[in-house]
Amino acid sequence: MKNLNVIIVDDAKFICEHVTKIVSEAFPSFTVKAAYNGKEAQTLMLAETFDIVLCDWEMPQMSGLELLQWTRAQAQYKTVPYLMVTSRGEREYVLKAIQAGVNDYLGKPFTSEQLVQKMQKLLGKKSVAPNTVKQAQAAKMLEAEQKKEAVTPKNMPKPKGLAHLRVRDQVYKCAIKDLSLKDVLVVVKNDGNFPQILDQAVIDIEQLSGDSVARVNGYVQMLQAAEPRIDSAFINIKVALVDDDPDKMAHLSKYIASVR
């Protein structure tokens, strides 16, 4: 591929550096720049032209969805590929992104191969505008879901201290053993399938009310047998947190206070 400009937008410095490394190694001729929130991205995108946007959803000052809406309102970016790279994989969020003109969606955590494949696919269709038919369908589906939510009770409260840990293409049900703004220690059942040290991870923590704490990005820092035996029934996993979003940290602080 010819020389292209790529912008990566994510409030977590660790994620920006990780994605930059993947893109630079896969596409050595590309110029890659990073922004740590939507406002910074706007400034960069007005100063120069980018050929593809890789953006997180949840960020301070301006979300990825708001940046997407602004991007599609700019003449020079109406057809530029926009890839939403985020831990927000619920149907409602996907529909909102499609409605706003996103080209594709990649859920965290992801592999290098998955990201590169998405980029290759999008850059091969660089001149194609977002599908207006899909946008209209997404708008109708989103409206129907919102009406359904208005008459459907919220999910029953989940037990306190439970979470889901997502690493690569695996989802681990786990119990929280300890929690701070810097890391989370969870325990999972030993089924012989473990993540690896330094794997990118997303942890979804459930509150007693049933509402999820903002999904937190991190990486696997430690694996440890929960019992001093070779056939330990459980494994401790420590996840170092890398998010800098003040809103996420506020939610997390509130949760920590509620369980101590």
Q: Are residues 139 and 217 in the same domain?
A: no
Residue 151 has a pLDDT of: 43
Q: Which residue shows structure tokens 């301070």?
A: 60
> Would you say residue 156 lies in a domain?
no
Q: Are residues 132 and 210 in the same domain?
A: no
CATH number, domain with residue 121: 3.40.50.2300
Q: How many CB atoms lie within 10 A of CB 152?
A: 9
Tell me the residue length of the chain. 260
Q: Are residues 147 and 212 in the same domain?
A: no
CATH number, domain with residue 196: 2.40.10.220
> Would you say residue 157 lies in a domain?
no
Give the count of domains, the chain.
2
Please report which helix (H) or strand (E) contains residue 19, including its range.
helix 13-26
Q: Are residues 11 and 75 in the same domain?
A: yes
Domain boundary among 151, 176, 197: 151
Domain boundary among 89, 122, 151: 151
Express each pLDDT in 9-49 by its tens digit. 999 888 899 999 999 999 999 999 999 999 999 999 999 99
Express each pLDDT in 115-163 by its tens digit. 999 999 999 865 445 555 455 565 565 566 555 544 433 433 334 478 8
Check whether 245 has a pLDDT greater than 70. Answer: yes
Q: Is 75 helix (H, G, I), strand (E, B) or coil?
A: helix
Contacts of 33 (CB under 8 A, 6+ apart): 5, 6, 7, 8, 44, 50
Express each pLDDT in 214-244 by its tens digit. 688 999 999 999 888 888 889 999 999 998 7
**Domain span at residue 27?**
5-151
